[in-house]
Amino acid sequence: MINFDPYLNLAFFDTLATVIGTASSQAGTDGLMNAGANLGGGMVAKLNGIWPEITLCIAATLSLFVGMAKHVQMRRMTWWISALGLAVAALIAAYEPARPDAHSMISAGMGQYVKIMFALTGLVLLLVAAQIPETLAVTHRNEIDRPDFDPGQVVRGEFFAFFLLSLAGAMLCGGADDLVWLFLALELTSLPTYVLVATARDRIEAQEAGVKYFFLGALSAAVFLYGFALIYGATGHTDLGLIHQYVMTNGASPMFITGLLLSLLGVAFKIAAFPMHFYVADVYQGANVGVTAYLAFVPKAAGFISLIVLLGLIIPENNQPIMGVEPITGLIWIMAAATMTLGNILALLQNNVKRMLAYSSIAHSGYMLVGLTAGLGNHPEGHADGVSGVLFYLVAYGLATIAVFAVIGCLQVNGEEAETYEDLDGLSNRHPFLSGTMLLATMSMIGLPPMVGFVGKLFLFSTAMDAGFIILVIIAVVNSAVSAAYYLRLFHACFFGHEHGQFEHIPEPADAKPVVDRIGPFFGYPLAQIVVPILARRSAAFVAVGAALWLGVASGWLVNASMNAVGRSTTPTPVIETAEYPNNLPAPGSSPLPSPTSSLPAILPDITPDPTSDSKAIATPDVPAV
């Protein structure tokens, strides 16, 4: 005879009443009507916080519809719709008010930072990926060879719609305040990328990459879901703020720690960290280079943001350490050290540039894990500093990686993507601008001064020093030096290699002429003829590397933005700072945007901008400390 324990006898309506009762008592109201109004208010506040994502979903739907249009010129508009959607999303995110229901310092300003970051890098990635649907065999078969319209055989709309949906998922990770939300956001990020990998290239390797990526992705999703289930079981909440409160008062139970470990392991797949890194090289090699650039940034950044959100659960408040969370710090420490060492060693052994970049992206994940480790240290402001270092480095890493992949994507050897070092031999003779871009991007990845990668590494490693992880910083710096070997090999091939291969650009965009004809009457033909061909991969490379250089020289505002994103006040005197905001909470009424009088934290003393300058004037001519 089955004898359920007393809890299980509760009827559905009792439970519902309990839920509503809890909500109403939390909201400080008495009646059921008020409770309903408050629940509705919370929902509206949440919806108001995700307008950028909603914009992207609308653009994705539009793109799907327009991709079904009868005329090919109309179908080619899908790219423009996607670009417009991303631009509008960036604007909305920039003017988004702070979320009134933000409960923790992490989700307060981070969502906005993350959304702007994804929308702007998404635009650059869209440039890299612009020509992919044109080059597919299915497009040639059904649009060029046989121009009668078959709606089942057009891929443009789907490609860009998946692109936007995945970006929307990545943006949602930043504002996650619930385990369910985080799970859905991570899945929305991942699912479209599986399709993009498998279908955006006609080689059989792409399908192999797609199936590997999909199956391991599903496995990792199951693992972190089990972790989420255990976290819920240990605390009784899925709301991250309530979980944090529960852990603060009751300490971390072994079940909670197990759940957190499993979630970290599952998310480690997304960021390609040590135990879950093995798929990366195959997937990056097999996918179309435009999709590879996407994979190297968006899912990884989404994974890091989820890690920040998850690790926010065990951050001490009021200087009371949470009991029993030491294993997590140790695990992240080991993951960081193993990830960067393994990534660098394996990258040294590669002959294929895409595989090398895959392993180097693993190494970069390791550097960012150093920042997360620092965030878990005992330093009073350590958590906010560590997280903002990661947020900063995500931008630095993304720009350099996108630039390198875009340069490689510009080159074709015998009709195939350039892949090996030999394919790049003597690039500087044929394409000086592309090889210059490659040089600057690799400098940023090594972490050499004028580039943003230098500031990023300085930020990350000095934070870890402050938090007391000296050995980890030594490992990271040695790894950083080792990584120069394979980046310089790339540079050497471009500038000193002997030419023997056949280089050619990817042909001019096939859709340039119709677009010129279309917008010519409005903007004038000369302008249209200049502007439209700019929308190609190489301009993505130039934009990305230009941004990396500019952010390296004028890094102050991005440092401020990333500090503000985690609610770290950037007032100049640390004494007042700790007195006013002991809990790392954002100042009441503080805007997530850089405050006009903000200055740099003490770790970057040499590039402090003039404190009186308006930080919104982002072109402030800061001088680097070199």
Partner 1 sequence: MIESMHAVTLGHFLMTGAILFVLGLIGFVTRRNLIIMFLCTEMMFQGVAITLIAFSKFHMNMSGQTFVIFLLTVAAAESAMALGLVVLLFRRKRSLDSQVWAQMAG
Distance CA 624, CA 619 (A): 14
H or E stretch at 411:
strand 411-413
Closest among 184, 172, 269 to 220, alpha carbons compared: 269
Distance CA 9, CA 12 (A): 9
In this chain, which of 355, 379, 457, 538 binds partner 1, going by CB under 8 A? 355
Answer yes or no: are the C-beta atoms of 312 and 111 closer than 8 Å: no
Q: What share of the chain is helix, strand, coil (3-state, %, to 5)?
A: 70, 0, 25
Token representation of residue 224: 């972190």
CB of 63 to partner 1, least distance (A): 19
Please give the full DSSP string across 571-604, using - where no structure is assigned: -S-HHHHHHH-TT-PPPTT--SSPPTT----TT-
272 lines the binding site for partner 1 (CB under 8 A): no
CB-based burial of residue 277 (10 Å sphere; 0-12 exposed, 13-18 middle, 19+ buried)? buried
In this chain, which of 27, 68, 184, 334 binds partner 1, going by CB under 8 A? 184
Give the amino acid at 482: V
Cβ closest to partner 1, residue 180 vs residue 474: 180
In this chain, which of 36, 39, 61, 239 binds partner 1, going by CB under 8 A? 239
Residue 425 gets which letter from DSSP? T
Q: Look at the block and give the residue holding tokens 């950044």.
A: 301
Distances in Å between the alpha carbon of 388 and those of 263, 391, 601?
22, 5, 11
CB of 230 to partner 1, least distance (A): 7
211 lines the binding site for partner 1 (CB under 8 A): yes
Task: Give Cβ neighbours of residue 125 (< 8 Å, ≥ 6 apart).
Answer: 163, 290, 293, 294, 297, 298, 402, 540
In this chain, which of 207, 429, 595, 620 binds partner 1, going by CB under 8 A? 207
Answer yes or no: are the C-beta atoms of 300 and 268 closer than 8 Å: no
Region near partner 1 per CB under 8 A, out of 64-72, 197-205, 306-314, 549-557:
197-205
282 lines the binding site for partner 1 (CB under 8 A): yes
Region near partner 1 per CB under 8 A, out of 343-351, 446-454, 566-574, 590-598:
343-351
CB of 298 to partner 1, least distance (A): 18
215 lines the binding site for partner 1 (CB under 8 A): yes
10 lines the binding site for partner 1 (CB under 8 A): yes
In this chain, which of 222, 485, 576, 617 binds partner 1, going by CB under 8 A? 222
256 lines the binding site for partner 1 (CB under 8 A): no
Cβ closest to partner 1, residue 144 vs residue 222: 222
Distance CA 209, CA 217 (A): 12
CB of 239 to partner 1, least distance (A): 8
352 lines the binding site for partner 1 (CB under 8 A): yes
Cβ closest to partner 1, residue 349 vs residue 470: 349
Answer yes or no: are the C-beta atoms of 549 and 543 closer than 8 Å: no
CB of 8 to partner 1, least distance (A): 5
Cβ closest to partner 1, residue 207 vs residue 595: 207
Chain CA centroid to CA 485, Å: 26
HSE of 151 in the Cβ direction (CA atoms, 13 Å)?
A: 7
In this chain, which of 79, 160, 163, 183 binds partner 1, going by CB under 8 A? 183
Cβ closest to partner 1, residue 204 vs residue 575: 204
Cβ closest to partner 1, residue 16 vs residue 530: 16
CB-based burial of residue 70 (10 Å sphere; 0-12 exposed, 13-18 middle, 19+ buried)? exposed
Cβ closest to partner 1, residue 118 vs residue 194: 194
Residue 508 gets which letter from DSSP? P
Entry field: residues in the chain: 626
Q: Look at the block and give the residue holding tokens 């960067």.
A: 340
Q: Residue 504 forms beta bridges with which residues?
A: 412
Closest among 93, 99, 149 to 120, alpha carbons compared: 93
Helical H segments across 447-524, by residue range: 452-467, 470-496, 512-523
Region near partner 1 per CB under 8 A, out of 175-183, 318-326, 504-512, 549-557:
175-183
CB of 233 to partner 1, least distance (A): 4
Cβ closest to partner 1, residue 228 vs residue 542: 228
In this chain, which of 31, 236, 588, 589 binds partner 1, going by CB under 8 A? 236
CB of 167 to partner 1, least distance (A): 18
Q: How are strands ordered across the β-sheet holding 411-413?
A: 416-417, 411-413, 504-505
Please state, as a whole number, how many other Cβ atoms lie within 10 Å of the Cβ of residue 247: 25
360 lines the binding site for partner 1 (CB under 8 A): no
133 lines the binding site for partner 1 (CB under 8 A): no
205 lines the binding site for partner 1 (CB under 8 A): yes
Cβ closest to partner 1, residue 113 vs residue 224: 224
Q: What are the φ/ψ torsions at residue 128 (nearest 5 degrees)?
A: -65, -40
Helix 382-410 and helix 537-553: axis angle, to 10°?
150
Token representation of residue 445: 């990845």
Cβ closest to partner 1, residue 285 vs residue 341: 285
Region near partner 1 per CB under 8 A, out of 97-105, 127-135, 281-289, 407-415:
281-289
Cβ closest to partner 1, residue 190 vs residue 435: 190
7 lines the binding site for partner 1 (CB under 8 A): yes
In this chain, which of 88, 218, 334, 338 binds partner 1, going by CB under 8 A? 218
326 lines the binding site for partner 1 (CB under 8 A): no
In this chain, which of 204, 575, 579, 619 binds partner 1, going by CB under 8 A? 204
Answer yes or no: are the C-beta atoms of 459 and 451 closer than 8 Å: no
Per-residue contact string for residues 12-41; x = within reach of partner 1 by CB under 8 A: ---xx-xx--x-------------------
CB of 184 to partner 1, least distance (A): 6
Token representation of residue 194: 């599986």
Q: How many residues bind partner 1 (CB under 8 A)?
A: 58
281 lines the binding site for partner 1 (CB under 8 A): yes
CB of 45 to partner 1, least distance (A): 19
Q: Interface residues with partner 1 (CB under 8 A)?
A: 1-5, 7-8, 10, 15-16, 18-19, 22, 179-180, 183-184, 187, 191, 194-195, 198-199, 204-205, 207-212, 214-215, 218-219, 221-223, 225-226, 228-230, 232-233, 236-239, 281-282, 285-286, 349-352, 355
